[in-house]
């Protein structure tokens, strides 16, 4: 093998090692467990991961705050949602924003209503590429259409 071909192979091996290392430690396309939430998300690519949150609503029957409103000028971006209908009664669940107790003031829908039939069920969605973008200084709440038991887990990060 000529010296020129040998150097070309060496460069190829170095590049392959670099890209393999980048993917293994959080580079492009890498996925990592997102703490206590338990689903995969692009934490390695998220510059706001240090300000991440995971909140839970358990066995609620009315609009319930999951993540408190951040300081003025900041937003609670939502990157993943799991909604659960805990009983065999049809209802819808949606993520909303607002201020005041349990988003009682200035309420606005962040998602459409997810329909659950007359059965216990779950719905999960991640927003890895573009997180849900709420208004600044708004809490994140879960709103049911009926006064029947539901639960939710929401993950995201707080930033300007």
Q: Which CATH number fits domain 32-159: 3.10.290, 1.10.1740, 3.30.2030, 2.60.120?
A: 2.60.120
Report the DSSP pairing between strands 105-109 and 32-33.
unpaired
Token pair in block for residue 132: 């849900």
The pLDDT, as a whole number, for residue 15 is 34
The pLDDT, as a whole number, for residue 128 is 81
- The per-residue pLDDT for range 34-62, each reduced to its tens digit, is 333 444 444 444 555 679 999 999 999 99
Unique residue bearing structure tokens 């049809």: 90
What average pLDDT score do residues 82-106 get?
96
The pLDDT, as a whole number, for residue 34 is 36
- Helices (H) and strands (E) in the chain — how many of each? 1, 11
Query: Cβ(150)–Cβ(115) under 8 Å?
Result: no
The pLDDT, as a whole number, for residue 50 is 77
Question: Mean pLDDT in the chain?
Answer: 79
The pLDDT, as a whole number, for residue 37 is 41
Whole-angstrom Cα distance, residue 43 to residue 40? 8
The pLDDT, as a whole number, for residue 48 is 56
Percent of the chain topping pLDDT 70: 69
Neighbours of 113 (CB within 10 A): 14
The pLDDT, as a whole number, for residue 46 is 55
pLDDT at position 26 over 60: no
What average pLDDT score do residues 108-116 get?
96
DSSP 68-133: ---STT-EEEEEEEEEEE-SSS-EEEEEEEEESGGG-EEEEESSPPEEE-SS-EEEEEE-SSS-B-
pLDDT at position 140 over 80: yes
pLDDT at position 119 over 70: yes
Unique residue bearing structure tokens 């959080």: 26
The pLDDT, as a whole number, for residue 16 is 37
Structure pTM?
0.70
């Amino acid at each position: 093998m000529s010296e020129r071909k040998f150097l070309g192979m060496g460069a190829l091996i170095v590049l392959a090692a670099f890209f393999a290392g980048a993917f293994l430690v959080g580079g492009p396309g890498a996925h990592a467990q997102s703490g206590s939430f338990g689903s995969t998300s692009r934490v390695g690519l998220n510059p706001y991961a240090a300000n991440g949150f995971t909140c839970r609503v358990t066995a609620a029957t009315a609009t319930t705050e999951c993540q408190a409103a951040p300081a003025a000028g900041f937003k609670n971006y939502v990157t993943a949602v799991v909604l659960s209908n805990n009983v065999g009664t049809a209802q819808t669940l949606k993520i909303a924003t607002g201020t005041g107790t349990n988003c009682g003031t200035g309420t606005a829908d962040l998602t459409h209503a997810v329909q659950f039939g007359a059965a216990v069920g779950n719905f999960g969605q991640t927003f890895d590429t573009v997180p849900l973008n709420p208004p600044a200084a708004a809490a994140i709440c879960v709103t049911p259409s009926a006064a029947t038991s539901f639960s939710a887990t929401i993950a995201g990060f707080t930033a300007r």
